Structures are given as C-alpha cells and as structure tokens.
Structure 1
Amino acid sequence: MIDLYYWPTANGLKLGILVEELGLEHRLVPVNIRAGEQHAPAFRAISADGRIPAIVDHTVGLSLFESGAILNYLAGQQQRLLPPAGSVAYLQVQQWLFWQVGQVAPYLSQLQVFREKAPEPIPFALELLQGQAARIYGVLEQALTGQPYIAGDYSIADIALFPWIQPARQGIDLAQYPAIAAWRERIKARPAVSTAYERARALAPTEQSLVVE
C-alpha cells in the first residue's frame, strides 16, 4: 500500500497520474498547501523540505519526497513507464525528467506567480520569464516533432511534463506549437489521466493546475 501525500498542483498531479497509470493500490492523503498543512511536523517527518508530493510505501517501510525521485522509484519498482536502467532509452527518459525538474518547473512556476499574484506588474520579471517560457515551449516542440512522446514511448518523462504545460496561464499561444498540442491531446485521452484529474477536482476543484484547455 502506498500513501500519497498530495495536493493537485502540477507537481502533485504527476504522482496522481502515475499511481493511476500503474494501477497501484494507494491512498491519497490530502496536504492542503493553501492552509499551510505542509508545515505540520508530522508531514515534515515524511518530507524534509515540507513540500508535496511525498509517499510512504508501507510494503517496504520507505518514505520518499521529491517528485522525480518518486516517479523513478514507483515506475522502476513496477518496471513500467521506464526503460531498463542503464539503457539508452532509460537515459533519454532521465534527461527529459531532469529537464522538467530543473528548467520547466522553476521558470514556469515563477512566471505564473508574477502573472497571477504580483500586486502590480513587474515588467522586467515578466519579460525575462516570458522569454524563458517561449524557450521551454520551443525545446519541447522540437523534441516532439516527428514522435508521439518526449522520449519516443510514453513514460514518466511525459507524466512529469504534462501538468506543467498550461499555455493559458503562461501566456502562450498553443497554435504556434502544433506538436505540443497533439501530444497534450494524446495524454488527455488516456483513461488514467482522466481519472487522476477527476479525483483531483473532487478534492480541490478551484486549483488552477486542473484547468486543461
């Protein structure tokens, strides 16, 4: 049994999708980050950084935080959605997973904060971050041109990226990125993805990450 400590932000949705794709027996444990529940000592004992998502795998007595580490752990354990360790295909999945963690999440999350929460517009920050968003979308568009998924076959790299690509929130015209648009439609059509988003909406219907244009 897996306990998934979770809130349906983009980072939380990665794991919501994965447990549905893998068909894992699991329990969603809501951690309402809007109410500060991530700072509770009991949660900090599981997630040292006080951030969702985190898991407890009761079958082996393991607690784990950081979404990329959890994606690798669960997919590797089940030997699905992740090629064999050490293979070229595995390394390709890892490069895109690390890119999502190191480039996509930091820049796009900051862009969303400055677009949605700044008391007044800060032109320098908006121009800088909008440029980074355009760069990220350009990299993703090129990588998806000519293949259905980011590393060839559907994998945890796609699962990590999908919830972060929110063009309306990020000021992006998706018509300029046809390969990304087609990729998003393929993923949206997956039953496990639909189920993950339905469960998330039942928990926190107003979360902006749940709007999939």
Structure 2
Amino acid sequence: MIDLYYWPTGNGLKVGILLEELEQAYRLRPINIRSGEQKQDWFQAISANGRIPAIVDHAPVADGQPLSLFESGAILNYLADKAGRFLPAQGTAERQRVQEWLFWQVGHVTPYLSQLQLFKEKAPEPIPFALDLLGAEAARLYGVLEKRLSEVPFVAGEYSIADMAIFPWIQPLRQGQDLAHYPNINAWRERIKARPAVQRAYEKGREVAAGEKSLALQ
C-alpha cells in the first residue's frame, strides 16, 4: 500500500495520474497547502522540503521497511520503475528520452509557468516586467512542446511518465496561451484527457478540493 500526501495542484495531480494508470492501491492523504499543513513537523519528516507530493511505500522492493519519498519527479521514476510500466528499461535510449522530457518539466515548465500564474493571480497589482518576461517564456515553452508533438504522439514517443508530468501543467487560460496556435498540443491534451485513469485522478482531486484551479481542464 502507498500513502500519497497530496493536494490537487499540478505537481500533486501527476503522481495521482500515475497511480491510477498503474491501478495501484493507494490512500490519499490530503495536505491542505492553502492552510499551511505542509509546514507541520510530522509532514516535514516525510517531505524534507515541506512540499507536496510525497509518498510512503509500505511494501518497497528493497528491504521491506517503509520508504518515504518527496519530489514529484523522483516519485514518478520510483513508481514506474517498481511497476515496470511507463518508463523503459535501464540503459536504453528510450529511457533517456523519457528522462530528458521529465527533467524539462521539472526544471523549466513548473518553475516558469507556476511563477506566471502567481504573478497573474496573486500579485496585489500588475507587474508588467514580470508578466512580460514570464509570458514570453511560457510562449517559448509551449513552442518547444508544440514542435516535439509535431514529430511524435507523446513527448518521448510512447505514453510515459513524462506526459503525465507535463500534462497537468499545461493550463492555457491561466498561462495566457491560445491552443488554436498549438494544434499538436491541443490534440495531445485531448488524447490524455480521454484516458480513464486521468479522468479518475482528476475526479479524486475534485473530491479533495474542487476549487483548485489546476483541476480545470479547459
């Protein structure tokens, strides 16, 4: 059994999607980041960075002792490796392709798009410099993804944890992007949105916090 410490943000949703795709038994342990629950000492003993998501695997492969993990990319790699699905075998070019797009999401997509959302939605007054800078980077990142998806149906070729990581972060209305300009991204999103596991993950997110903006699949 896996405990998923979670809130339905982009980062929380990607782990929920993988667990649903794997049909893995798990328990949702909501951590209300809007009220500061992530700052509690007991949670930081599980997630040293004090951020969701985090997991505790009560039946790990190694020594049988419960294993806790934080950081969504590390969690996706661990769960996919353990199940032998959605991540190609060690030493293959296909695995490295998944890794490069997963790290692209972790290193570029989330930092820039989350900051854009923050400045658009939370700043007491508009800050043109930040909005222009981050808006331009959002358009650049969308362009990178659009070009890749003009070549392959999923970012690493086959559907993988890289798609699951990127998908919840492509929120065009929040990020000032028009999918009419990105037909390949639009088609990719529709393919992923149609997957039953993705629909289940989002429904479970709505049961936890229906008002979270990341749950809107425009």
2:151 to 146, 151, 155: 146
* Gapped regions of structure 2 (runs ≥ 5): 61-65
Q: Distance in 2 between matches of 1:23 and 1:171?
A: 34
Tell me which amino acid in the other structure corresponds to 1:11: N
Superposed structure 1 runs of 4+ greater than 2 Å apart: none
The letter of the residue matching 2:17 is I
- Map of 1:51-200 to 2, 5 A cutoff? 51-60=51-60, 61-200=66-205
2: CA distance, partners of 1:59 / 1:203: 25
Counterparts of 1:74 and 1:204, CA distance in 2 = 24
**Cα distance between partner residues in 1 of 2:22 and 2:188:** 20
What displacement does 1:146 show? 3.0
- Per-residue deviation at 1:33? 0.2
RMSD: 0.5
**Per-residue displacement from partner, 1:69-111 (whole Å, max 9, x unpaired)?**
0000000000000000110000000000000000000000000
Output the CA distance in 2 between the equivalents of 1:65 and 1:35. 20
- Percent of aligned positions that are identical: 68
- Tell me the distance in 2 between the aligned counterparts of 1:198 and 1:25: 16
1:108-142 CA distances to partner (integer Å, 9 max, x unpaired)?
A: 00000000000000000000000000000000000
Letter in 2 for 1:3: D
Structure 2 CA distance for aligned equivalents of residues 156 and 163 of structure 1 = 12
* Equivalence for 2:28: 28
When normalised by structure 2's length, the TM-score is: 0.97
Give deviations 1:40-59, integer Å, cap 9, x for gaps.
11100000000000000011
Q: Secondary structure at the match of 2:106?
A: helix
Matching residue of 1:48: 48
Where does structure 1 lack aligned partners over 5 or more consecutive residues? none
- SS in structure 1 of the partner of residue 173 of structure 2: coil
Distance 2:159 2:91 in 1: 18
Q: How many residues align?
A: 213
> How far did 1:147 drift?
1.6
